[in-house]
Amino acid sequence: MAEKDKTPKKPDNPKIDDLYMNTEDGSTEAMTTNQGLKINDDQNSLLAGERGPTLMEDFHFREKMTHFDHERIPERIVHARGAGAHGYFESYGDLSQYTKAGFLSEKGKRTPVFTRFSTVAGFKGSSDLARDVRGFAVKFYTEEGNYDLVGNNMPVFFIQDAMKFPDLIHAVKPEQHNEIPQAASAHDTFWDFISLMPESMHMIMWAMSDRALPRSYSMMEGFGVHTFRFVNERNESFFVKFHWKPLAGTHSVTWDEAQKISGQDPDFHRRDLWNAIENGNYPEWELGVQIVPEEDEHKFDFDLLDATKIIPEELVPVKLIGKMVLDTNPTNFFAETEQIAFHPGHLVPGIDFTNDPLLQGRLFSYTDTQLSRLGGPNFNEIPINRPISPMHNNQRGGLMRQTINKGQTSYHPNNLGGGCPFQAKMSDGGFVSHHEKIDGHKIRKRSSSFMDHFSQAKLFFESQTKIEQEHIISALRFELGKVESEDIRERMVGMLTYIDGDLAKEVAEGLGINPITKPKEPLNHSFPADADLKDYQPTKVSRSVEKSPALSLMARPGKGIKGRMIAVLATDGVDADSLGHYKSALKKEGAEAKIISSHAGSIADSNGDAIKVDHSLLTTSSVLFDAVFVPGGSKSIKTLHKNPDAIRFVDEAYKHFKVITINGDAEKLWDMTYASKNANPKGVLFDQDASAFIEAVSKHRVWERDDATRIPV
């Protein structure tokens, strides 16, 4: 039999088909940016008023000038460790009431995408399972140019102003004197910084929660973080927040599992994404938006421009507007996943910025970073970064220039080139920045509306289930327990008192801090030298939402078990009927059943048929699986029940709250475990049909298993 072709299938995708060819003439064409966005005005910079200063957000000016400045090509500073895939986005309907963006203009319209997931703090060689924020960046190859939705798996951030971003990253990266620790926030410099930044407290709650330990990329939410704008054909503006909702539900691993997975398989998330796509279990997310009319900008008890705040879904529900499916793995990791260049300033008509100071700073830093990382101003010509819409402008030269431009002219206006490329009219898709009125002094000062640092941190913590709250407490104990400076630990615990007294007390107890010193003035240290410090004192607000169940991971269990990994403990003599029934049922549901045996190679079932072994007990661990099935067969169980690794495998799965099914003679193996000493073990199914097992696995964990943590593995 011929070997199966392992080349990833290439669906009908205009981006993939056009990845490796681009020539440009420019005659009779409208002027565009390097992302294919048609330009309406190539003569004037974007100003704050007719006689005002040039604005940092003028992405067209910066792209044009930066290219000129660099006409004579490293690992990403952040988000270095990542994985990505091709796919498509399909719109659920016409959103032209809110935005003129073409890819959201009609039901069923498909747009090619490339999505990259990443950790933030670690280097390229770090583990996928670090406790960290995850990047969630999507490049839409639209007919109007590339649009990048560059976000994270958490909807808020540590800081409010981009000026502090280098400080944040310097603090969380390995310490300067010894380059330790790698891909971890559990060290002095990070918590020294955080303990002096009350604005970070909301994000800290997210980062210490189970959100920082996703089970897989396909089981984590994504967020645009900032408030953006939708603009429709009538030039009406709406504020918008973006959400990616995974159809597989939101699930995590435990901290104990994360540490063990980092040793067993540091490529755990990469491998999961790759295998899911290769096996046809395509990851899916729905895109949702929270839309706020411009006139409602100030109706909330928080500032929409503050990146440390969310809009609770109880105030503005999330409207689902489309679905993203990732169905094709990269052909070459470096050429595609590593060289893809995202930028929140890659826009299409109908989507625009707000004055969020963190977003405004990102509009500069991304281009600046790509110049260093990808060697020069022509990174847009790398195949993975090319738009599917044609590019026409007057940019020439520079390192690694690919396009061979015809003609005599490379400037505008011109007569020799027939005035081409010409400026596009709005009616022809030319981009025009939203005409927002700005009236104020040039000043370096935070808005007083940004000074509430604790109410949403408190909202997040109080909206978690009891189990999730316990995990946050344990995470803070672990992280701060690694901090050597007693002053930093005490200061940080003092800050927690402003979020929740019991939270602070529990963390302090784990650190041996008694009494707790509550700071009288938890001053935000982001102030200029001559500031009036009362302007930087955090304020208190009365929350309009007391609890938000949507903030709990457990609020979105998802449906089914597609993409789940099921460990099947078996060896020679395994019951053929039971094994066959379960494997068939699991495959039908999109889950993968892996045979784990005492040895590699193959085993023979009770009918004498050979079955391929996927892993031996020596080369795998229960932490790499979502559930465990132990089929019967007296010979198989007799062998396994003499193997300490098999017993440990079951006990460890029980400790991590996973569903376990024991069939037939396998009860003899169960009787050898520590977990079996419990009179009524929760989530352990005996002689159940595959449908009962599948239903239990779809709930992900058996959190009601109170005795799990006492299992000594």
As annotated, the active-site residues are 79, 152
CA 228 from chain center: how many Å?
Answer: 18
Report which secondary-structure segment, H or E, holds 110.
strand 110-119
Kindly tell me the burial class for residue 477, based on how many C-beta atoms sit within 10 Å of its own C-beta (0-12, 13-18, 19 or more).
Answer: middle
Among positive and negative, which fits the CA dihedral 214, 217, 222, 224? positive
Q: Which of 529, 543, 539 is nearest to 447 (CA)?
A: 539
Q: Beta partners for 113?
A: 87, 140
Find all residues with CB under 8 Å of 454, minimum gap 6, and list them: 198, 201, 202, 498, 499, 538, 540
C-alpha to C-alpha distance for 460 and 499, rounded to whole angstroms: 10
Q: What is the CA radius of gyration of the chain?
A: 27
- Lookup result for tokens 């001559």: 530
Check if the beta carbon of residue 89 is closer than 8 Å to that of residue 323.
yes
CA distances in angstroms from 353 to 5, 346, 477, 570, listed in the order given: 46, 11, 39, 57
C-alpha to C-alpha distance for 663 and 666, rounded to whole angstroms: 6
**Structure tokens given for 119:** 């950790």
Check if the beta carbon of residue 160 is closer than 8 Å to that of residue 151.
no
Interhelix angle 501-511/466-481, rounded to 10 degrees, is 40
Q: Beta partners for 460?
A: none
- Lookup result for tokens 């410099």: 189
C-alpha to C-alpha distance for 639 and 197, rounded to whole angstroms: 58
C-alpha to C-alpha distance for 101 and 146, rounded to whole angstroms: 11
Phi-psi domain of 121 (left: phi exceeds 0; alpha: psi -120 through 50; beta: other) = alpha
CA distances in angstroms from 343 to 422, 479, 566, listed in the order given: 25, 32, 38
C-alpha to C-alpha distance for 137 and 132, rounded to whole angstroms: 16
List the end-to-end C-alpha distance of the chain, in Å, as a whole number.
44
In order, the DSSP letters of 489-540 are: HHHHHHHHTTT-HHHHHHHHHHHT--S----S--------TT--GGGGS---
SS3 content of the chain, % helix, strand, coil (to 5): 30, 15, 55
